[in-house]
């Protein structure tokens, strides 16, 4: 064997050994929990929902789940645990539509037969969407973490960014003596923003007043039904042993102003009423709604923009749920819909911007 061929073989062997070592280290540390739960000897920062949530629901120990969009990131799992006597994880997906959240919940109940409670926010923004709409860029989504195809795990175990960023981050977190991020702090954005009317005004762009009011169509009502059936109620129907505590997200009065300005206020109210009608039919779905708490909705100290409320509201929602307050039923939901219709269709929105 000539020298060049020998060196070539040695190089390939060394390269293979290095790649195997990198892959082995990533799989051992497993910062995204793709293969196993956190190692007890390491401390893990939780800081990337779409990369870590799938592994969390597959490998962590829990019997309750908090999920939704950024509207649920400020929930504190410890508060839910105390109020309901559970051991919960929080797996929220900022900006997610109903399908992405439901896909994660389906994996959770498949992986964990002990789940008995799900707390989920239903963003009113996404009621009127196609059932298969996700809202994210599929080309940039980490599909290799979500499927069972081992071949594409190379994008995880031999990923320079994962090695230098996430694996190194776990080792650095551990070396510095920090504890793993808990499910109170995971994703919590509360202290990164200012709240109040000035903060909301700074980011709110008021639309021009529409000339005509839009009416909801039967096709749109059918879209709501398909979205909720596929991404909310079907899972509840298949798992009667799980209690689903759902809530319609309580956006601020500026959200309602935007609907009024764009001529979609009555349409949205009709969409919500149909959604509520569908959801209250299920014995293991407990649906809560808070848009009739008008003092809270109109108090902009609770909000950083037109829709995002602070963690005090998240804490209060859990308390209301534990006491079954603001629970909608087949007997009372029409009264709730009438109250919010009367208030938001007659509100003096111009007063928000005068002076």
Q: 292-339: per-residue pLDDT in tens?
A: 999 999 999 999 999 999 999 999 999 999 999 999 999 999 999 999
| Predicted pLDDT of residue 59 | 97
**Is residue 14 over pLDDT 80?**
no
Higher pLDDT, 354 or 80: 80
Classify residue 4 by its DSSP letter. H
Average pLDDT over residues 149-170: 92
Phi, psi of 117 (to 5 degrees): -145, 135
Could you give the maximum distance between any two Cα atoms of the chain, in Å? 90
* Six token digits for residue 208: 């021009």
Topology annotation, domain 49-147+179-352: Rossmann fold (3.40.50)
Residue 317's region, left for phi above 0, alpha for psi from -120 to 50, else beta, is alpha
* Six token digits for residue 125: 């923004």
Residue 134: which pLDDT band, with cuts at 50, 70 and 90?
confident
Question: What pTM does this model have?
Answer: 0.94
| DSSP H or E run through 119 | strand 117-122
Classify residue 61 by its DSSP letter. -
CB–CB of 285/228 below 8 Å? Answer: no
Give the span between the Cα atoms of 303 and 253, in whole angstroms. Answer: 10
Q: Residue ranges of the domains in the chain?
A: 49-147+179-352
Strand, coil or helix: 189: coil
- Residue percentage of the chain with pLDDT more than 90: 88
**Is residue 112 over pLDDT 70?**
yes
**Is residue 4 over pLDDT 70?**
no
Give the span between the Cα atoms of 338 and 123, in whole angstroms. Answer: 20
User: Taking the chain, what is the end-to-end CA distance rounded to the nearest angstrom?
Assistant: 89
DSSP bridge pairs for 288:
247, 327
**Is residue 24 over pLDDT 80?**
yes
Q: Which are the contacts of 214, defined by CB distance < 8 A and separation ≥ 6?
A: 263, 264, 266, 267
What count of other Cβ atoms lies within 10 Å of the Cβ of residue 51?
17
Kindly report which listed range (9-23, 156-170, 233-247) carries the lowest average pLDDT score. Answer: 9-23
**Is residue 3 over pLDDT 80?**
no
CB–CB of 106/67 below 8 Å? Answer: no
| Predicted pLDDT of residue 323 | 98
CB–CB of 353/201 below 8 Å? Answer: no
Strand, coil or helix: 67: strand
Residue 341: which pLDDT band, with cuts at 50, 70 and 90?
very high
Residue 7: which pLDDT band, with cuts at 50, 70 and 90?
low
Average pLDDT over residues 100-108: 97
DSSP bridge pairs for 65:
89, 118
Give the span between the Cα atoms of 338 and 355, in whole angstroms. Answer: 31
CB–CB of 278/228 below 8 Å? Answer: yes
| Predicted pLDDT of residue 15 | 64
| Predicted pLDDT of residue 11 | 61
**Is residue 1 over pLDDT 60?**
no
| Predicted pLDDT of residue 5 | 67
Kindly report which listed range (39-48, 132-141, 224-233, 240-249) carries the lowest average pLDDT score. Answer: 132-141
CB–CB of 135/70 below 8 Å? Answer: no
Phi, psi of 304 (to 5 degrees): -100, -20
Mean pLDDT, the chain, rounded, equals: 94
| Predicted pLDDT of residue 275 | 98
**Is residue 153 over pLDDT 60?**
yes
Sheet containing 117-122: order of strands: 88-90, 64-67, 117-122, 243-248, 285-289, 327-328
* Six token digits for residue 66: 């908090």
Handedness of CA 256, 258, 260, 264 (dihedral sign): negative
| Predicted pLDDT of residue 349 | 97
**Is residue 35 over pLDDT 80?**
yes
């Amino acid at each position: 064997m000539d020298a060049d061929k020998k060196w070539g073989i040695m190089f390939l062997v060394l390269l293979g050994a290095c790649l195997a070592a990198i892959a082995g280290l990533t799989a051992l540390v497993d910062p995204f929990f793709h293969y196993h739960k956190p190692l007890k000897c390491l401390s893990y920062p939780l800081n990337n929902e779409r990369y870590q949530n799938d592994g969390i629901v597959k490998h962590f120990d829990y019997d309750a789940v908090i999920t939704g969009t950024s509207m649920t990131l400020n929930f504190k799992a410890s508060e839910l645990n105390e109020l309901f006597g559970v051991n919960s994880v929080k797996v929220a997906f900022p900006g997610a539509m109903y399908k992405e959240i439901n896909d994660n919940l389906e994996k959770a109940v498949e992986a964990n037969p002990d789940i008995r409670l799900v707390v989920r926010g239903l963003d009113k923004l996404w009621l009127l969407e196609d059932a298969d709409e996700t809202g994210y860029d599929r080309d940039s989504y980490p599909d290799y973490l979500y499927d069972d195809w081992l071949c594409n795990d190379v994008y995880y175990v031999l990923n320079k960014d994962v090695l230098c960023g996430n694996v190194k981050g776990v080792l650095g977190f551990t070396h510095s003596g920090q504890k793993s991020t808990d499910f109170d702090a995971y994703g919590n954005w509360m202290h990164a923003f200012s709240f109040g009317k000035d903060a909301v005004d700074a980011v709110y762009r008021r639309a021009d007043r529409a000339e005509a009011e839009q009416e909801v169509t039967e096709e749109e009502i059918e879209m709501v039904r398909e979205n909720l059936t596929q991404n909310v109620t079907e899972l509840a129907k298949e798992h009667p042993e799980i209690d689903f505590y759902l809530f319609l997200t309580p956006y601020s009065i500026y959200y309602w102003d935007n609907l009024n300005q764009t001529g979609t206020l009555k349409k949205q109210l009709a969409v919500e009423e149909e959604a509520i009608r569908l959801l209250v039919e299920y014995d293991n779905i407990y649906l809560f709604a808070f848009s009739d708490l008008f003092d809270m909705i109109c108090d902009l100290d609770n909000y950083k923009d037109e829709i995002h409320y602070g963690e005090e509201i998240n804490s209060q929602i859990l308390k209301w749920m534990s006491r079954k307050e603001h629970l909608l039923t087949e007997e009372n939901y029409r009264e709730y819909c009438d109250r919010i219709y009367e208030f938001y269709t007659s509100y003096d929105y111009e007063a928000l911007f005068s002076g």
